Amino acid sequence: MSPSAGGLVVFLLSVQVIQSQDGLGVNYHETDVCAAKGSTVFIICDITHPPGIDPSDIKDRFWFTKEKDGEPVDLRTDSEYLDRVMYGCFVTRCYLSITDVRESDSAEYKITFMTNKPGEKYTGSPGVTLCVTGLQVQVRRLNSTWLELTCHSSCVLSDRAEYDWYKNGEIIETGSSLRVSSGSTDRYSCYLRGSSGQRSPAVYGPQRPSVSVSPSAEMLEGDSVTLTCSADANPAANYTWYKGDGTSDPRLLSEEPQLVFSSIQSSDFGWYFCTAENQLGRKTSEFILIRVKYGPQRPSVSVSPSAEMLEGDSVTLTCSADANPAANYTWYKEHEDSPRASGQIFTITDFTAEHSGNYYCEAQNEMGRSNSTLLLITESGVDRTTMIIHITRWPLLVVMLILQLLFCLWTRKKKAVSSTTEPHESREAVEMDLHPECEDLSDMAAQREDPEEQEDRV
């Protein structure tokens, strides 16, 4: 590349500074150079030889940025500049060319001369300060709809610098700034027009975040678990963690890329997701289900029917316990070593007195086991057949005896009225005098009463 091709970078300043050392004059065309990363830079100077020194007396001349043991180090021997530097001199004008400049090339550059006389050398100092800058796109929000993109560099490239704007790799506009809509998924970058530098890194909103879980194996209660949210975005995204399944408002958990459970618990079971957001947009990850393995909690037991049992009834006991993985159930009767049944439901189809007692269930999985509290199952002590007899037979017999007794009283009263007796007093006496047959019926009714009713009367 010729010096004229790099003019945009090199000839930014027209100030000429002449330095002299021992009669040697070095005129650097610029004292400060700002170059775009990846471009080619030319540093040029004019030489004025001191009296008595002919240009033919100059044995060597080279450029350097650092010294070793007090002696300048030729850039051509520096591995950091290998195959990237080139020197040249035309009578009294010399130049340094550096291709594909890097930010690490930012330094002060000087030229030194050595003559035929041993130990005689001349250095133009101070030298030229080179600043290599990468282009960056700055994002500024104008309102809820629009953003303004500006091409930025750490040093001033040129007052007349113009930029080409790229959208997804294609030039779309030229100018110092670009307006785009908020939430766009496109990639935007800028380039210093007319230079050989590199385009700026593209800016874009977050892609859909991905979630990783560490450790990725099964989680046991008490383990340390870390969820990490990551998304491709520039500028870098900010992350937020939530817990929720999408059916209600999620619960905010953290505003960091990682969500850390130092000792995960069964209560942490559920759906989680994260969001990634920068100035250009916001995206949400997929939901991830966190399953925690834990031993059974204390089981609960229910009985149906819940009233006292009668002989011959069917009784169903149900055991349930929160556990992951699901628990297996075993039924025991107190003071017995052998289980009565296995499974979540235990049914006694023909309840008898020997079934009465305390029962409990045991829930077990690979993480542990847990027992329920004791459940007392008792029989009411009344035989169903006997009870039916009490209900049906005794009421019928009593009714029959009462009817016979009333019939006797009616017959006796009728005879007393039709016979000749004394007035009221005699008649009342007769009415109260029961027929012997009726007295027998009254005794029978008393004898037929329910033994339990007699006991209650006593």
Instruction: State phi, psi for 326 to the nearest 5 degrees.
Output: -55, 145
| Residue appearing with tokens 């009668």 | 310
pLDDT of 402 above 80: no
pLDDT of 425 above 90: no
Burial class of residue 218 (count of CB atoms within 10 Å of its CB; 0-12, 13-18, 19+)? exposed
- Among 210, 260, 256, smallest CA distance to 233 is for 210
Confirm whether 210-293 and 300-377 share one CATH topology: yes
| Residue appearing with tokens 């110092």 | 176
Q: Which of 64-78, 91-105, 274-288, 429-443 has the lowest mean pLDDT?
A: 429-443
Q: Which of 124-133, 320-329, 445-454 has the lowest mean pLDDT?
A: 445-454
User: What is the C-alpha end-to-end distance of the chain, expressed in Å?
Assistant: 130
CA distance linking residue 203 with residue 185, whole number of Å: 10
Question: pLDDT-derived band of residue 383, with 50, 70 and 90 as boundaries?
Answer: very low
Residue with the bigger pLDDT between 25 and 261: it is 261
pLDDT of 385 above 80: no
Instruction: State phi, psi for 207 to the nearest 5 degrees.
Output: -75, 175
Give percent above pLDDT 70 in the chain. Answer: 78
8 Å CB contact between 302 and 241: no
Taking only the tens place, the pLDDT of each residue in 307-359 is 677 888 888 999 999 998 899 999 999 988 899 999 999 998 888 888 888 99
CA distance linking residue 172 with residue 164, whole number of Å: 8
Residue with the bigger pLDDT between 157 and 397: it is 157
pLDDT of 143 above 50: yes
The CATH class of 300-377 is mainly beta
pLDDT of 76 above 60: yes
Mean pLDDT: which of 52-56, 360-364, 424-428 is highest? 360-364
Single-letter residue type at 339: P
Q: To the nearest whole number, what is the mean pLDDT of the chain?
A: 80
Q: Which of 57-66, 212-221, 406-415 has the lowest mean pLDDT?
A: 406-415
pLDDT of 221 above 60: yes
pLDDT of 450 above 70: no
Single-letter residue type at 429: A
- pLDDT of 386 reads 36
Tell me which CATH homologous superfamily contains domain 134-192: Immunoglobulins (2.60.40.10)
Q: Measured between alpha carbons, how far is residue 341 from residues 140, 248, 338 in Å? A: 72, 42, 9
Who's near 95: CB < 8 A, 6+ residues apart?
A: 3, 42, 43, 44, 45, 87, 88, 89
What residue ranges do the domains of the chain occupy?
Answer: 3-132, 134-192, 210-293, 300-377, 391-457
pLDDT of 113 above 80: yes
- pLDDT of 413 reads 63
| Residue appearing with tokens 């009283």 | 409
- pLDDT of 391 reads 36
- pLDDT of 98 reads 94
Question: pLDDT-derived band of residue 414, with 50, 70 and 90 as boundaries?
Answer: low
CA distance linking residue 336 with residue 345, whole number of Å: 19
CA distance linking residue 158 with residue 13, whole number of Å: 9
- pLDDT of 61 reads 85
pLDDT of 441 above 90: no
Instruction: Provide the β-strand partners of residue 227.
Output: 213, 259
Tokens of 174: 């030229």
Taking only the tens place, the pLDDT of each residue in 166-214 is 999 999 999 889 999 888 789 999 998 878 788 999 999 999 999 999 9
CA distance linking residue 168 with residue 188, whole number of Å: 6
Span 3-132: which CATH code? Answer: 2.60.40.10
Span 210-293: which CATH code? Answer: 2.60.40.10
Per residue, what are the HEC states of the chain?
A: CCHHHHHHHHCCCCCCEEEEECCEEEEECCCEEEEECCCCEEEEEEEECCCCCCHHHEEEEEEECCEECCEECCHHHCHHHCCCEEEEEECCEEEEEECCCCHHHCEEEEEEEEECCCCCEEECCCCEEEEEECCEEEEEECCCCEEEEEEECCCCCCCCCCEEEEECCEEEEECCEEEEECCCCCCEEEEECCCCCCCCCCEECCCCCEEEEECCCCEECCCCEEEEEECCCECCCEEEEEECCCCCCCEEEECCCEEEECCCCHHHCEEEEEEEEECCEEEECCCEEECEEECCCCCEEEEECCCCECCCCCEEEEEECCCECCCEEEEEECCCCCCCEECCEEEECCCCHHHCEEEEEEEEECCEEEECCCEEECECCCCHHHHHHHHHHHHHHHHHHHHHHHHHHHHHHHHHHHCCCCCHHHHHHHHHCCCHHHHHHHHHHHHCCCHHHHHHHC
Q: What's the CA angle centered on 382, arms 381 and 385, to 5 degrees?
A: 145
pTM of the complete model: 0.58
Give percent above pLDDT 90 in the chain. Answer: 43
Residue with the bigger pLDDT between 286 and 122: it is 286
pLDDT, average across residues 277-284: 92
Taking only the tens place, the pLDDT of each residue in 223-247 is 999 999 999 999 999 999 999 987 8
pLDDT, average across residues 278-286: 92
pLDDT of 388 above 50: no
Mean pLDDT: which of 150-159, 258-267, 442-451 is highest? 258-267
